[in-house]
Amino acid sequence: MTAGPLAAFAAGVGPPDAGPVVAEGGRTQWSAGVVDPEALAAARAVRAPAGVVAVEAADMTVRVRAGTPVADVDAALAEVGQVVAVPDWPGATVGGVLAVGHSGLRRLGWGPVRDTVLEVRYVSADGRLVAAGGPTVKNVSGFDLCRLLVGSLGTLGLVGEVVLRTRPRPEAERWLAGEADPFALLRRLHRPASILWDGTTTWVLLDGHPADVEAQAGLCDDLTPVETGPALPPHRWSLRPSELPTLAGEGAFVAEIGVGTAHRPDPQPARPVDPAVRTLHERIKAVFDPTGRLAPGRDPLAAA
């Protein structure tokens, strides 16, 4: 049932002589990693097929085509009491979110988005349909191509379909806020979904079984219930978790404690890239896309 749409997607990408090509989703993160806007604009845009192929509730997996809105996947999983740790940015598609590789606000408790990907079917630079990974994690060996593709901005392959690991949908969730030490709360609480801090106020998101949420809330006696978390500034900064305390007094921000992500009004300045990392990046790109036809003008290292 999946071969037809995926074969059509591969045909749309075409062989190397079909020219530069870029996958287009909801364009919610279209500017991520763009270093040459003209080259990107000149590439032919293609769209991955859409649709939830199969929800395997007993195995806690879902097979979904990359052009599917994340909201549609969430709705399908809600019917079986499950959820997937993929950010639900309004209008975002599964393939677009995985291409960017940024996790959502619940990364602290739910883990990074790349950990949800078990299998990928993608179109290579030479127009072939390639499968990597598998719907289970038993007896897996060798290099994990699924993790390599997540966050690659479509520069190594264009994702057409994935199998994602699901988790139980939380029966309860609660936001708390107050002037508490976020780093002390990180040590005190057991797997909170999120801890946010703006230098003055700390917000904590607890989710899971109602009894567990209630018990964890009891450890936050210096916080009070609130309806939701803070509004996030538009730009995402990537920092070492140990660098987050230094943000205080450096302008507006909301930091994800324990993760190493901060949200700020201004874009993050370009950071120097370790030459060894750059060399490795270039070698991988040369193997997967020797002619540079996939997502030209994008650099994953510029979006890290």
CATH code for the domain of 150: 3.30.465.10
Whether residue 284 is contained in a domain is answered as no
pLDDT at 1: 42
Residues 162 and 190 in one domain: no
Whether residue 242 is contained in a domain is answered as yes
Two tokens, residue 11: 């045909």
The last residue of one of the domains, among 168, 195, 210, is 168
Where does the pLDDT of residue 145 fall: very low under 50, low under 70, confident under 90, or very high at 90 and above? confident
- Counting the structural domains of the chain, the total is 2
CA–CA separation, 119 vs 164, rounded Å? Answer: 7
Residues 164 and 212 in one domain: no
Residues 112 and 182 in one domain: no
Residues 137 and 187 in one domain: no
Kindly state the average pLDDT of the residues 243-264: 89
Whether residue 290 is contained in a domain is answered as no
The last residue of one of the domains, among 168, 188, 218, is 168
242, 262 contact by CB (below 8 A)? no
Residues 90 and 14 in one domain: yes
Whether residue 234 is contained in a domain is answered as yes
Residues 143 and 33 in one domain: yes
CA–CA separation, 20 vs 42, rounded Å? Answer: 8
The last residue of one of the domains, among 132, 153, 168, is 168
Range of the domain at 203: 172-264
User: Looking at the predicted structure, is the pLDDT value of residue 250 above 80?
Assistant: no
256, 202 contact by CB (below 8 A)? no
Two tokens, residue 250: 């450096």
pLDDT at 271: 82
Residues 61 and 159 in one domain: yes
Whether residue 295 is contained in a domain is answered as no
Residues 28 and 86 in one domain: yes
Residues 118 and 250 in one domain: no
Residues 139 and 176 in one domain: no
Residues 209 and 226 in one domain: yes
CA torsion angle for 33, 37, 42, 45 (degrees, to 10)?
40
CA–CA separation, 90 vs 28, rounded Å? Answer: 8
pLDDT single digits (tens) 204-214: 999 999 999 99
Whether residue 99 is contained in a domain is answered as yes
244, 257 contact by CB (below 8 A)? yes
User: Looking at the predicted structure, is the pLDDT value of residue 66 above 70?
Assistant: yes
pLDDT at 230: 96
Whether residue 90 is contained in a domain is answered as yes
pLDDT at 139: 46
Whether residue 70 is contained in a domain is answered as yes
Residues 156 and 11 in one domain: yes
pLDDT single digits (tens) 209-231: 999 999 999 999 899 999 999 99
